[in-house]
Structure 1
Amino acid sequence: MPGTEAIRAVVYDLGKGQRIQQLAQTLGQLTVISNSAAVSIENLPLAAHGLFTCQAFYDIEHEPKVFYYYVHLTVRVPVSKPYLLMSDVSPVEGSTMWMRCNLENGTGPIQYVWQYETRSGNISAFAQGNTNIINVTNINRNHTGWYRCVASNAVNSESSNRLWLDTIFGPDIPQIDVTPYSITERGYSALERETVSLLCQAQSNPASQYVWFYNNSQVYTGPQLTITKILRMHTGDYACLAQNTYLNTRSKKTISLTVYYPPDGSPSCSVEAALNYTALRLICSWPGGLPSPSLHWTGLGNTANTNTAVLLPSEGLNSNSLFTCMGSHLALKQSTECSTRTHIPPAEPECFPYVTNNKQYLMLSCSWDGGAPKALVWWEGPDGQAKGGEENSNILILRYGTASSGKTYTCHAKHPLLAQTKTCRLTLEAPVLLTQRRVVSVYEGSDVQLTCNLRANYLPVSEITWFNNQGVGVLDTSKYALLQTSAWANLTVRDTDETQDSGEYRCSTSNAVGGTEINVTLVINRYPMPPNVTLVKVMYNSRQRNEVELEWQVENEGGGGWTGFILQHIWVSEQPGRRGSNNDSKQEMEERISPPDWHSNIIQDPEVRIYTVGRLTPTVTYQFRIMPVNHRTFGHPSAAKTPAEPRYNVYPAVIGAAIGGMLFAAFLTALLLVFIIRNRNNNPRLHDMLFGLQHSQSRENINFPEDELEGRSEGGIEEIGPTMALPRAASPLTTSPASATPATSQAPPPGDDNEPVSVTITVKATGS
């Protein structure tokens, strides 16, 4: 054995066969090769390592010879499958760790190789050496991957299983990607109403968690923040916070996002005067929007930014020139435009004066509207008054009462498209009043109109005021009525009264230049006393005494002076025995009970001379009188008279009654004869007595058949109708016996003999 001097036999052959010793069992499966001095060892164990000596003995008679052959047998053990150990399989980036490759056995020298395999499968040698342990300092994220160790000796090479090394790190500073992608000087930009996506990524193991902030306010959790139809209000700072919850570390990044939006509406074009109204300045403005829109005038050969102007000389420009400005913005798909025209004001400058409400100042206004650009207007006065230029209109202010009467105030107006200056002038004058009549005379009770007018239309406008006879300003009341315009004023005095309304009325006017007034005298006259009236006839017109007919006459008929009459009656006395009659009306009873008073009937027609008063009480005695009136003046009442009874004439009444009776008797006789003729078959004796017997041949000449005659006679009775009532007393002219019977049978039942009967007899008499 190596390291010892002792030799032990393993196998020998001394001529008597091979002899294998027990030691050979520890050396493996030893086999002697026949007919040779060679041995074979199978399944060589490590114990077989050492020095083997072969001794050969030669049998020589004289002297034996021994030969020694030495063989050093080196037994090499192959390396076993190594296994890898790491001090930390999840080291933190920047820390230190070790890796060890362990073997069960193997004959050295042994070489170790450390292999690194990426996620994609690429394998590379990380380290190598003759030691089974290595130290790794300053671990970083690039060390993350699969590791294995390979052990090699002279016999073989074995590789360990791979082991994953997971480096813990992060998070790094986040990376923010904006879609759509657009970068400005201030950061990122987006167009209004676009969909904007913000993606945050930060290298970290384990993976980071993300929180989004908008202007320091948390708005979302997750790596991707999406804003649908972004608005201008979303402009601001967006920050992404990445967090490693394993290491409790975080990192943050902030970007600025600007939302571009177009201006509202469309561009605005205008033209104004420049260079003392000798040139034009074109202005195109489109305020708002981000960024500012791009503006330029077409057809002028230059480009202008927002609120910039283009200066053009007015020479050669027409009164209706058109200029167009184009506006575009990156947030709009299409450009927009505006236009402006130049034109001269269509009319002439207008001037007019007016006074302030408190009459402190006189304002002279001058205007020339409607031009593009606006015209320049200024005032010049006769006494050095002036008012600097203003566009469109200008007002010269003068203190009330300081304007010069008859002097001219001139307004000048200039437009850039006109070479000459236009003017308008005002001449201020104090007013002058006129009236149709200085003295007006009317009768009392009538309405009268007083007139007052201006001689001309004065500038400034004059205001007309009326004052009554007491010096008080007149307003519209029940007494006074005002009707006025700027040039005249009429005052109407209603229902004039001599005492209250007579006197001086004053019409006054004034303006900022001066004032004047005019007096009108109003004379109120009373109406004259109407003439006297005399009743010439006062008489009842019937026996019923309920109507009285009156007739009167007027003294001095041709003098006039009356407008009507008042006819009055009064209750004087009542006949006894008739008080409280059923025929008395309620009004008549009240007249008897109440104290005597005159009752009036107004007659408005001055031509009437006869009048009938009705509805009188027959048992009452009245007195009548009449008085003339004209407007407000009452004449003297006539002497009171009692009505006279009507004159009664019997002869006309008798004659009328006789004629009436005769007519009535003739009518009844005719009816009786018709009755007898139609009923001759029923009463033949009565018929024969009146008409006598006739030959039978005469009956055959009747045109109607017998049955028809009977039908007619029966129908004749139905056609007679109701019986007629006869007068209460038979007429003396009716003496026929034939008429006596129906008169007696058809007379109505007797009534009250005391019942009054109304008979009206009209007699017309003519006398020479």
Structure 2
Amino acid sequence: MRLPGGTPPARFFFVLCIWRLVPRRDAAGTEEVVFGKVGGSILLLCRNVSKEATEVVWFQGDPHSFPPLFSSRVTFPPDVRFSLVDNSSLRITELRLQDEGNYTCKEVLNRTDHEHRVQLVVANPPQAAPKCWAETSSSGLMLQLFCSWPGGYPHPTLHWREEGHDLENSSWVISSSSSSDTHVETLNSSHLSHRKVFKCVGSHVVTQEEPSCTVQIKVPSLESEPPKTCFEGDNVTLTCRVTESSPAARLTWLRGITQPEEEVQAGGRYLISQEGNVSHLTIQNCSQGTDGGCYVCKAQNPVGLRELFVCLTVKQPVNVVGVVGAVAVLSLLVILTATGLVLYYNPLLCLTGAAFRNQDLGDVLVLVDSEDDEEEKGEEEAMSSSIKHKVMALVNGNSIQGAYLNCLTEGDDGEQHSRGSLQETREEETQGS
């Protein structure tokens, strides 16, 4: 019968007895820490091994535990990931997190028991690359630079430095490091300037690369909408927008030039809201006496301060009913004036025709002397001709004047009919006499 790994039982128990007989005294040894990467391989060296050593035994955890992890002379139930190199050093492939821990190698040499202790750390590479950003401290006066590189084990080393800094001509340089997933550096505003760049460099035990990220700080920039107008009693909203700022700016509203130190507080008729980089000041029930004028939008971060004027005009409300009534009266006056002009220049055209049409000319008997007949007829014809000429002079495609012309034509026909009736009457009277 053989034990797992092909070791004869007699030899196995012989080695076991020898190991039990080895003196258990605290042996002089060295300590070291080695780092391995998950999925990679690592070689644990057994240092200070004597050339006369007949056997090297490796333990994981307690160096006096049984059975040992590996022996140069006896193969215990094997893990194919473990093997010996040069009959002393331990190689581990396909590293796992559970492989992390303390390892001890012992040499078996007559009356000596040399040991060497190794701490194995199985590390993970941090995810992606470091990320950088800037924030304002709670006091509002300090700048905080954040550099984060999570997912690594053990913690990476993060180093902040000022990019493009002239070391020879300046007495101040940022240079700080820490071993953590996130490194925060706090700076006073006196060391800051517009568009200055800071760089964070990361390093980790399992990678030779040193990824980095940068952050550029900026003074706030503002833009606003055109001046606003509000009628008394209505509501109006003033808007202020930050176009760029690093870190983010704090936005406040001041009550204009007359009261430059008075900050507008939310409450009562004033509502203040902020959505991202846009601030809104809503004034309810506008008052011409108290709300009109220019307001100041103030944006501030540790790098600097910017201010922008936003002006508001408050007007009296317009009487819509009065305006509509005035327009109606004006329109009526225009119509009446036009009608009056037409009647002034042509007062008798249609009235004359209408008078002749509405009377029964057959019932009218006009007695005139025969001697005056011809003279009267001539005067009537002259009058008719004169009226026709005047009407023709006024007619230039106008529909109203055309209507008057029709009236005149009908009136002439009536006059001719009347004159015919009178002539017949006179002839009958002459014949009778």
Instruction: Report the TM-score range of the alignment, normalised by the length of the smaller protein.
Output: 0.3 to 0.5
User: TM-score, length-normalised on structure 2?
Assistant: 0.47
User: TM-score, length-normalised on structure 1?
Assistant: 0.27
- The structure carrying a bigger strand percent of its residues is 1
Structure 1 or 2, whichever has the larger Rg, is: 1
- The structure carrying a bigger helix percent of its residues is 2
